[in-house]
Structure 1
Amino acid sequence: MRGLIWNCREAGKKGMATCLLDLISDHHSLDFIGLQETMKKNFTPKCIRRIDPFGLFHWEWIPYVGKSGGILSGVRHDTLDITS
C-alpha cells in the first residue's frame, strides 16, 4: 500500500490543483492521499475533478475551523474499501 500525506498549506492557492494532478499521474500506484491544512470549508465537484479527472479516488473532507485546519482525503476505489 502506498500513500501520500502532505501539509499543503491552503489547497485553494494557484497551481495547487495542477500540482496534485501531476502527483497522482506520476505515481500511479498511490492508494490514498491525505492533505492537511487545506483552509477550505468545501470542495466542489469541479474542484475534485481538477485534482482527479478520471475519478480514481473517493474523496472526503473535514472543513477548517478558525485560522487553521481542514483535511482532504482520497481513497482509491480499486484497491481499498471504505466501511464507514
Structure 2
Amino acid sequence: MKGVIWNCRGVGKKGMATCLSDMISDHSVDFLGLQETMKKNFSPGCLRKIDPFSIFSWNWTPSVGKSGGILCGIRNDNLDIVS
C-alpha cells in the first residue's frame, strides 16, 4: 500500500492538478491526503483533473477563510471507506 500526505498550501495553483495526477499514476498511489487546500468545495471537474479515470473516492473538509481544508482520496479497488 502506498500513500501520500502533503501540505500542498493551495490545491488550486497552476499545474497542481497535473502534478497530482502524474504522482498518482507514476507511483500507483492507494490513498492521497492533501492538507491546506484553501478550498471550500471541489467540483466534479476539479476532481476529474486530478483523477481522470475516476479510480478514487473523494472526501473533503472545507477551508475556513484562507486557511485549512483537507482533501482525501481512496483508491476504490484497494480500500474501503468505513465511515
Q: Identify whether the pair has TM-score above 0.5, normalized to the shorter chain.
A: yes
Q: Which whole-Å CA distance do the structure 1 matches of 2:5 and 2:20 have between them?
A: 12
User: How much does 1:44 deviate?
Assistant: 0.2
C-alpha deviations, 1:15-56, integer Å up to 9, x for none? Answer: 10011011011012x111000000000000000000000011
Whether 1:14 aligns to 2:14 is yes
Q: Give 5+ residue unaligned stretches, structure 1.
A: none
Distance 1:21 1:66 in 2: 26
Aligned residues: 83
Give the Cα–Cα distance (whole angstroms) in 2 for the partners of residues 26 and 2 of structure 1: 12
Query: What is the rounded CA distance, in whole Å, between the counterparts of 2:31 and 2:62 in structure 1?
Result: 19
Tell me, in whole angstroms, the C-alpha distance in 2 between the residues paired with 1:80 and 1:23.
18
**Secondary structure at 2:54 match in 1:** coil
Q: TM-score, normalized by length of structure 2?
A: 0.96
Name the structure 1 match of 2:54. 55
In structure 1, the residue matched to 2:77 is 78
Q: Secondary structure at the match of 2:60?
A: strand
CA distance in 1, matches of 2:3, 2:64: 26
Q: Specify every segment of 5 or more residues in structure 2 that has no aligned partner in the other structure, as ranges.
A: none
RMSD of aligned Cα (Å): 0.8
- CA shift, 1:66, in A, is 2.7
2:45 aligned counterpart, secondary structure: helix
